[in-house]
């Protein structure tokens, strides 16, 4: 069975209580449970990981390659806008990924409009709320990207 890595970056552990007017009230545990169950339905395993540390996220991407993960769904949070290291990890492992943002970053502050990841992603989902994670998984499986 193929594995998809669901990777969430800094502050996404606070989902549910963090700025609910922007991010909604669903917790990360709820999202991970839902995406893992959807994966089981669609015939892929989902490995979930969240970290607030850039280095740990880089390390998890490296391990995903060693483990033979087929693809990733990545919400890198604020590191999206700052991290050359995450970009290099994704480019260096050639791990295919969909970039997800819960909020529509283009409606928000200008510093959220630039992503170090988008131009090497398969595609980008922003502003669909937590449904974006489901959309990404369905896309990966239904288009046979994994
Ligand atoms: C986010 C958007 C980022 O700008 C922000 O730093 C986050 C969450 C989103 O899911 O909308 O932490 O990636």
Report, as an integer, the average pLDDT of 3-13.
Answer: 98
CA of 126 to the centre of ligand 1 (A): 9
96-135 burial, b if ≥16 CB within 10 A, otherwise e?
A: bbbbbbbbebeeeeeebeebbbeebbeebbbebebebbbe
Report, as an integer, the average pLDDT of 26-37.
Answer: 98
96-113 pLDDT tens trace: 999 999 999 999 999 999
Instruction: Using most ligand atoms within 8 A of CB, pick from 23, 51, 75, 98 the residue to mutate for ligand 1.
Output: 75
Output the pLDDT for position 145.
Answer: 76
Report, as an integer, the average pLDDT of 48-62.
Answer: 98
Atom of ligand 1 minimally distant from the CA of 100 = 10
CA of 85 to the centre of ligand 1 (A): 18
What CA–CA distance (Å, rounded) separates 66 from 24?
Answer: 35
Q: Which band of pLDDT confidence, cut at 50, 70 and 90, is reported for residue 87? A: very high
Output the pLDDT for position 58.
Answer: 98
Report, as an integer, the average pLDDT of 91-96.
Answer: 98
Q: What angle, 0 to 180 degrees and rounded to 10, lies between the N-to-C axes of helices 84-93 and 54-67?
A: 0
Output the pLDDT for position 67.
Answer: 96
What CA–CA distance (Å, rounded) separates 70 from 73?
Answer: 11
Radius of gyration of the chain, Cα coordinates, nearest whole angstrom: 14
- Please give the model's pTM, rounded to 2 decimal places: 0.97
Output the pLDDT for position 144.
Answer: 79
């Amino acid at each position: 069975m193929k594995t998809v890595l669901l990777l969430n970056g800094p502050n996404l552990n606070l989902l549910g209580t963090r700025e609910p007017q922007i991010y909604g009230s669903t917790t990360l545990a709820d999202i991970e449970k839902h995406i893992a169950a959807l994966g089981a339905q669609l015939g892929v395993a989902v490995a979930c990981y969240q970290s607030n540390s850039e280095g740990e996220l880089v390390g998890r991407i490296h391990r995903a390659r060693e483990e033979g993960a087929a693809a990733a769904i990545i919400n890198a949070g604020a590191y999206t806008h700052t991290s050359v290291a995450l970009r290099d990890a994704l480019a260096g492992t050639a791990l295919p990924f969909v970039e997800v943002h819960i909020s529509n970053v283009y409606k928000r502050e200008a510093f959220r409009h630039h992503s170090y990841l988008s131009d090497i992603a398969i595609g980008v989902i922003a502003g669909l709320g937590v449904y974006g994670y489901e959309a990404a998984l369905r896309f990966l499986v239904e288009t046979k990207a994994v």
